[in-house]
Amino acid sequence: MAAQVLERMDVGAPQGGKKKLIRRSAPDRSQRIRHVAQVIFLVLNGWIAAQFYLWVRYFERGGHGLQVSRPTGVEGWLPIAGLMNTVYFLRTGSIPAIHAAAMFLFLAFVLMSLALKKAFCSWLCPVGTLSEALWKLGRKLFARNLRMPRWLDLPLRGLKYLLLAFFLFIIGTMSAEALQSFMVTPYGIIADVKMLNFFRDIGESAAIVIAILVFGSILLKNFWCRYLCPYGALMGLVSLLSPMKIRRDPEACIDCAKCAKACPADLAVDRLMQIRSAECAACMECVAACPAENALQFSLRPKRAAASSERWRRRVVGPAVFAGILAYIFLGMVLFARATSHWRTTIPQSVYMDLVPRANSVTHPGM
């Protein structure tokens, strides 16, 4: 009953006196497993980028040199196409012919957010991984990371939601015909090549912006993800529907505040009963930092029971199971798209031979 009452409260009651620490019996493995997942996804994306570059070079050389197939996984880098195709699919019930993989990958990441909060950001996204590496480098160099004052931090966090609202408004108000017409334009077909060229022929202003982002990411934790990424904003909003959350048991907790100190999103983990925030990326840094047995878990709503261990029984998702669920959703979606022949975009070679070499002169149809 006590657990039920506390579960309904947002903030744990202050405890009188110092509580006895019952140390965790098993060492935490969450960060090791998460870092392995991050490295696997980083390597996968590096491999996709290298193969895509070779594929583009083949057409730029007029069909000479090494010929490789187009790595469809590159469409994971086309979130706008993924969103457009999803809206098209919702409106028509038909799977689009161009960049369907962008839609399947987008849906896989949305499903992950429904199941495991914003896990995509802290377990898989290569930008999130690089961001994390940069702020950890900053902490090593300067012994700490900067913290924005709260009055500035909150409105800045809102920027990513504004960017998301902008994209949702533009795409959400397009008709199915308009969405399809956009996708079959030269710009839509080679959106991935345009993206590669953006980084290959980077202009002075874009280079300055990227340098500012890198510098900001060294000083502040997850600078890009925290303030500017509309994709993360969407995953965060979807994650509000997830039944899984970081949950604290105030009876086992000794109020040491190590969890809050470890949280890259600066959430008050030590004072809340559960973390509902759209900013929680399910990184489990808080769980890893917690010294007390059964005090902090990534879990479903706990059971009503007198003993702390009983309350969590069959409710907790450990890091290995967590990684397994992510792999299941990701591979399941890719295999489903492959099995139903919707994975690859089939465009005749002659079209690519025409468009890829002159990609820089192909402009957005709205311009």
Binding residues vs ligand SF4 (CB under 6 A):
246, 248, 253-259, 262-265, 267, 269-270, 275, 280-286, 289-290, 292, 295-296
CA distances from 8 to 102, 217, 305 (A): 40, 37, 15
In this structure, the strands spanning 245-248 and 296-299 are antiparallel
Smallest separation, CB 106 to ligand SF4 (Å): 22
Minimum CB separation of residue 327 from ligand SF4 in Å reads 19
Q: How far is the CB of 222 from ligand SF4 (least distance, A)?
A: 9
Question: Within 10 A of 138 (CB to CB), how many other CB atoms are there?
Answer: 21
Task: Name the minimum Å distance from CB 20 to ligand SF4.
Answer: 11
Q: Measured from the CB atom, is 60 or 293 closer to ligand SF4?
A: 293
The two three-digit tokens of residue 235, written as one number: 């995953």
Q: Is 272 exposed, middle or buried (0-12, 13-18, 19+ CB in 10 A)?
A: buried
Q: How far is the CB of 280 from ligand SF4 (least distance, A)?
A: 3
> DSSP string of 148-213?
--HHHHHHHHHHHHHHHHHHHHHHHTS-HHHHHHHHTSHHHHTHHHHHHHHHHT--HHHHHHHHHH
- Smallest distance from the beta carbon of 34 to ligand SF4, in angstroms? 10
Closer residue to ligand SF4, CB minimum distance, 220 or 359 = 220
C-alpha 304/C-alpha 310 separation (Å) is: 8
70 versus 221: smaller Cβ distance to ligand SF4: 221
Residue 105 or 269: the one with the smaller Cβ distance to ligand SF4 is: 269
Which segments within the chain are labelled E, that is strand?
245-248, 296-299
- Choose between 101 and 289: whose C-beta lies nearer to ligand SF4: 289
CA dihedral for 116, 121, 124, 129, sign (positive or negative)? negative
Q: What are 250-253's contacts with CB under 8 Å, separation 24+?
A: 250/6, 250/12, 250/13, 250/15, 251/2, 251/3, 251/308, 252/22, 252/292, 252/293, 252/294, 252/295, 252/308, 253/12, 253/19, 253/292, 253/295, 253/296
Closest approach, Cβ 22 to ligand SF4, in A, equals 10
CB of 298 to ligand SF4, least distance (A): 7
Here the contacts of 89-94 (C-beta below 8 Å, separation 24 or greater) are 91/175, 91/176, 91/179, 92/176
Q: How far is the CB of 128 from ligand SF4 (least distance, A)?
A: 11
Nearer CB in complex with ligand SF4: 283/326 = 283
Q: Which residue type, as a one-letter code, is found at position 314?
A: R
Compare residues 33 and 282 and give the one whose CB is closer to ligand SF4.
282
Nearer of residues 190 and 317 to ligand SF4, judged by Cβ: 317
Give percent helix, percent strand, percent coil of the chain, each to the nearest 5: 60, 5, 35
On whether the CB atoms of residues 273 and 12 are closer than 8 A, the answer is yes
As measured in angstroms, the least distance from the Cβ of 303 to ligand SF4 is 19
- Of 115 and 267, nearer to ligand SF4 (C-beta) is 267
Q: Among residues 193 and 290, whose Cβ is nearest to ligand SF4?
A: 290
